[in-house]
Amino acid sequence: MGESVNLFEINSLYKCYNQKEKPKVYAVYNLNLTIKKRETLGLVGESGCGKSTLGKMLLKLEQPTRGTIIFNQQDITNYSFNQMRKIRNGMQMIFQGNANAFNPYFPVEQIIREPLDNYSHESKEKKREKIVAMLEKVGLNKTYLTRYGHEMSGGQRQRVGIARALILNPEFVVCDEAVSSIDYALKNQILTLLTDLKKQFGLTYLFISHDIAAVNKICDRVIVMYLGNIVEIIPNINDKVQHPYTKALLAATLIPDPRKREKSRVLFKETEEIKIPEKGCVFQNRCLYAQQVCTIEPPALVSKDNEHYVACHLYQ
């Protein structure tokens, strides 16, 4: 049997958070997706649409309520903590590089060494050599070993976070808003660094971001999520998007002038409560083009052309 080109195969995945004395929240709802080896897959959508929950389920930091997650042809959905331990070093996460991202009492050496200590019995000196080599790969050097989080800039902290995520040679990295809190020039440097490291280490990224420009720069394909569902998969964000939600999202975020952006929000219908409807399309309550069928049948995610998928009755 040849090697699979898919790193992940995700089938009918659900995550429901049961909250005390509050209604259930479906953060991810019947989601189907494959992630190809060595691709950078973008994940965009409004706050609360389930992006982080999906990322955490792939890393098994959250347990799915239903569905299956196949990683490298192994069904890891119900793997125990010990079974996950054997593959967890192959999956890592890069968070926002803000000052709270690291333990304030740990110097950089300890921050990056922590994952190594969990997985390797090498001597302290050998580990230090690896840490210094990794610091150099991310554009820092050994003088940073003794620095604390608050003694670094946002960009330097972000580089340390990347070094920590890559120290165990992972195959898959979730970048969760990894460049969202840094300014434009620095953002470009970190995006270039992530792209270089991807080539060097043969990485696969899930790149979660509110920043459409960053997604545009780095991603091979982009998933658009709305209320826990995938509404569109775009091979390239410059391609013609089709789903009314994607159009509205792009119009709202790509216009630099916030006053004009406000106007473009009319692309959504305003609703009091944004929640998954009992039947039909998830976006029906806010869609300006909703028809009767949208209130009855959920649209399937169908292929348009060349890996462009859209879940909308307007195009079926």
Contacts with ligand ATP by CB under 6 A lie at 17, 19, 25, 27, 45, 47-53
Please, are residues 15 and 28 in contact by the beta-carbon 8 Å criterion? yes
For ligand ATP, the closer CB: 197 or 224: 224
Number of H-type helices and E-type strands within the chain: 9, 12
Least separation in angstroms between CB 214 and ligand ATP: 14
Strand order in the sheet with 25-36: 25-36, 6-17, 66-71, 74-75
Percentage helix, strand, coil, to 5, in the chain? Answer: 35, 25, 40
Least separation in angstroms between CB 292 and ligand ATP: 28
For ligand ATP, the closer CB: 37 or 210: 210
Least separation in angstroms between CB 25 and ligand ATP: 5
CB within 8 Å of 203: residues ≥ 6 apart: 38, 166, 170, 171, 172, 173, 197
For ligand ATP, the closer CB: 16 or 87: 16
For ligand ATP, the closer CB: 47 or 82: 47
Rounded (10°) angle between helices 154-166 and 108-119: 10
Q: For residue 140, which phi and psi values (nearest 5 degrees)?
A: -115, -170
Least separation in angstroms between CB 52 and ligand ATP: 3
Least separation in angstroms between CB 107 and ligand ATP: 29
DSSP string covering 31-99:
EEEEEETT-EEEEE-STTSSHHHHHHHHTTSS--SEEEEEETTEE-TT--HHHHHHHHTTEEEE----G
Least separation in angstroms between CB 75 and ligand ATP: 23
For ligand ATP, the closer CB: 52 or 246: 52
The three-state secondary structure class of 132 is: helix
For ligand ATP, the closer CB: 135 or 230: 230
Please, are residues 132 and 206 in contact by the beta-carbon 8 Å criterion? no
Least separation in angstroms between CB 51 and ligand ATP: 4
End-to-end alpha-carbon separation of the chain, Å? 36
For ligand ATP, the closer CB: 8 or 29: 29
